[in-house]
Each structure stands twice: as C-alpha cells, then as structure tokens.
Amino acid sequence: MCQNTHNLINLMQLKFFLVVAEFQNISKAAEHLFRTQSAITRAIGDLEKQLNVELFERHHNGVILTEIGKFLHTPIKNAIEELQRIPELVYAYNQPDMPQHAQINEPYFLYNTRRLEIFSTLYLTKGMKNTASLLHITQPAVSSAIKLLEDALNTELFIRTPNGIKATAICNDIQQNIKRCLNIIHDLPNQTANFIGKLQGTVRIGALPLIRTFLLPKAITSLASKYPAVRFLTFENAYESLVAQLRSGDIDFIVGALRPQQQSSDLESQVLFDEKMFMVVRNKHPLLKKEIQFEDLLQQQWILPRANSPARQLMEDNFRNLNLTPPEPTVETGDLALTRGLLLQSNMIAVVSEQQMKYELDQGLIKKLPFDLQYTSRQIGIISRKNSIQSAASKALIHSLKVVCNASTEAVSLQ
C-alpha cells in the first residue's frame, strides 16, 4: 500500500537534523550544507512540528539533542545511510573490476521523499499509468522523477518493453535500500509515540506454517489486549519469498522453523524452542484399534510436507535411519487447513508438529500414532536482519512470543 506522500517526513530535513546534531551549531551546519542559517532553522522547526517534539535544546553557543532527539537519531541515521550506500552499489555494479578511488559525493538527489515513493511504487506496479494513479500525479511526473534518478546515478533503472516496464539488475539491488529507508521514516511518528510511553505502530510478521495456528495467535492476542494501538500484519508466503521481503524491509521478522543451512550472513536467528514431528490420524482411525508395525504404515496413504522442504527431509531421514524406505505421499501440501480436512475425512496419515495441530489434538479430533520420529527435532525461532533495529512494537511482540513459547513448552514437558 502506498503511503500518502503529503504526510511523509521530508528526507532533506532529516539530513539537516543529522548535520546539526553533528556540529551542535546551526551556523556551522548551514556552512557545511551550503544553505542559509534561516533555511536550516526553518527545516528543523518544520521537522519538530511534524513529529510534535523538540529535537534540540537551544543555547547561546549552540544546540544539543534532547532525549527524544537522541532516541530518534539512530533510526534517522540508518535511513540516510541506506541512501548513501546506493551510489557505491551502482559504481560497483557498473565498474566491477575497478577499485573505487574517487570519493562519492553526498547523494542529495536521493533525499526527496516523493521521488523515492515514485521509484518504489513503479518498481511494484511496473507501469507508469498505475504508478501515477496510485500517487495521484501525472505520468510525465513519474517519468521525470525516474529520469532524474537515472541521470544522477548514470545508470538505467527500468527497461521499457512492449509488455511493460522491467527493472534492471541494479534496480533490484537498490530498491531494497530505498524500501528500508522509506519504512524507517514511515515509522518515525510511531517511534516518537513509543518514546513517550504510547506503544503504537504496525508489526509486520513473516509467519511460517508451524507457528500460525496457536503460538502466534496467542502472542498477538496477548499483546493486542494490552496495547490496542498496535496493529499486526502477517505474511504467509514461502520461506524464500519471506526472506526477500525481510531483506527489503517489508517485514520486521520471520517466525517459524529455522533453516540454518539456508541462512545467509546478513540474517540472524534466535531459538524459541525445539520440537519434534509426529504421525497423526483422525480419531477412530482403524490403526488406533490394533497393534501395528512400521511396515503397516507404509501401506497407508500419506499427507506429507512438500518435497525438498526441511520438514519433508527430516521425515525421510527418520525412515532411512531405520533402514526403511520413506513413504510416497498421496498429497503434498504445506496448507494446514487442507491437511486438517483430509485427515478428518479419510484414513490418511499426516506428519505434523504438535503446535500445528494443537487444537485438534486437544479436542480429540486427531490422535498421535504411537511411533517416535526421533530424528525429526527442529528449532523454532525468529529470523531477522542482522544489526536491524526493531521498533518498540516489534520488540513487544517478540517478547510476547517468548513468553507464550516458554509456557507452551513447559506445559508439554509436564504432560
């Protein structure tokens, strides 16, 4: 969803804020920025008015950051640094074999919130007309903004084709920086409210299947009851898509089964708990009425996680460690609603975690088969961007998740 650019904070004002904070003197900051002192004073005043806070204490010999100014300095610095990396990325892309000797000038052409919104919206829509319509501007205004960026970066960002607009490779790279920057400045009013004790804002969660049915809903309802101004937005895409959204700043963190082998150096994880998988069937399934062997199970129809998924690999490894051929699935799915429906309406066997089917197990709708899948333990946790700064609302949800997970694992250990 595109933000209303009329309500967005001015990026140039944020740059001025950082320079004033560095020099602790408006006159020196104005000289450094080649602006008049009155222009800097007016910009800081407008920023303070928009955030409804006082960022600096004025003294006869200069200015110093207030406590809220110190608090906001880090996210503002992070937002500007995201943009400052873009010329370096473009240079490295265009001159891969050339060392970067020349000092790159400050990218003032990027410190324009509307221009970045136009870029970001065009990247998503891949169409000038749709972008103009969403932002309530003309198509020439879209073209002009993109041309200015391309000219300033001396590189092509979008390719015009008969089927629409296609992003170039370097465009795919820098859009992550731009998106992260925009997400930070969108959240500044929430950060300000959080500082004065009002928890608000939107938490964007990448929710993998295992966590969706019980633990995440319980953590959200617990937090929502205490802080009604917090909003929650969940994304239920495949792991690879969620990681891409995490890198671009579209989501704050991913929660679910960890994948250490697939995790790159720019991401970090924290473990919430370990959990094994089980074989489950519907209540009153014929297998529950007889003594069965593993070989009997192989004659049944199976509902299994998708091929090449970590859960599927763990299950198949378990069978191989027992010198048994893994079962062939009748249905491959990662959808819990479909799995539940198939179990309740057939004699199929499914391999799931306890958290995925907690309600059905508690209500007696499905039962565990008495076989231990001992090689299927996996870590459940949170994945985030390394060195990213979570909002207060995100931190609160992570804390709520930890509390819920601790209570859940303690309850299981007492059973």
The percent of residues in the chain predicted with pLDDT above 90, rounded, is: 64
d(CA 159, CA 272): 44
**Other beta carbons within 10 Å of 225:** 8
What pLDDT shows up at residue 409?
A: 66
Q: pLDDT confidence of 6, banded at 50, 70, 90?
A: very low
Average pLDDT, the chain: 90
Tell the CATH topology of 5-175: Arc Repressor Mutant, subunit A (1.10.10)
What pLDDT shows up at residue 3?
A: 47
Mutual angle of helices 169-195 and 67-94, in 10-degree steps: 180
For strand 230-235 and strand 201-207, is the pairing parallel, antiparallel, or unpaired? Answer: parallel
Tell the CATH topology of 200-274+379-414: D-Maltodextrin-Binding Protein; domain 2 (3.40.190)
> Over the stretch 29-41, which tens digit does the pLDDT of each residue have?
999 999 999 999 9
CATH class of the domain comprising 277-376? alpha beta
Q: pLDDT confidence of 212, banded at 50, 70, 90?
A: confident
What pLDDT shows up at residue 100?
A: 57
Q: pLDDT confidence of 275, banded at 50, 70, 90?
A: confident
Is the fold of 200-274+379-414 the same as that of 277-376? yes
Assign 365 to helix, strand or coil.
Answer: coil
Please provide residue 173's backbone torsions phi and psi, each rounded to the nearest 5 degrees. Answer: -75, -50
Per DSSP, the residues of 302-347 read: EEEPPTTSHHHHHHHHHHHHTT-PPPPPSEE---HHHHHHHHHTSS
Instruction: Give every CB contact of residue 394 below 8 A, 6+ residues apart in sequence.
Output: 203, 252, 253
Domain ranges of the chain: 5-175, 200-274+379-414, 277-376
> Over the stretch 129-145, which tens digit does the pLDDT of each residue have?
999 999 999 999 999 99
The token pair at 188 is: 């500044």
What pLDDT shows up at residue 4?
A: 46
Contact 258, 271 (CB under 8 A): yes
115: amino acid identity, one letter: R
The Cα-based distances of 97 to 6, 94, 281, 309 in angstroms read 42, 9, 59, 38
> Over the stretch 230-253, which tens digit does the pLDDT of each residue have?
999 999 988 889 999 998 888 999
What pTM was computed for the model? 0.79
What pLDDT shows up at residue 103?
A: 59
Q: What pairs with residue 96 in β-bridges? A: none
Exposure string of 204-214, with b = 16+ CB inside 10 Å and e = fewer, is bbbbbbbbbbb
Whether residue 5 is predicted with pLDDT greater than 60 in this model: the reply is no
In 173-300, the DSSP E strands lie at 201-207, 230-235, 253-257, 267-275, 277-282
Q: pLDDT confidence of 322, banded at 50, 70, 90?
A: confident
d(CA 352, CA 369): 12
What pLDDT shows up at residue 1?
A: 42
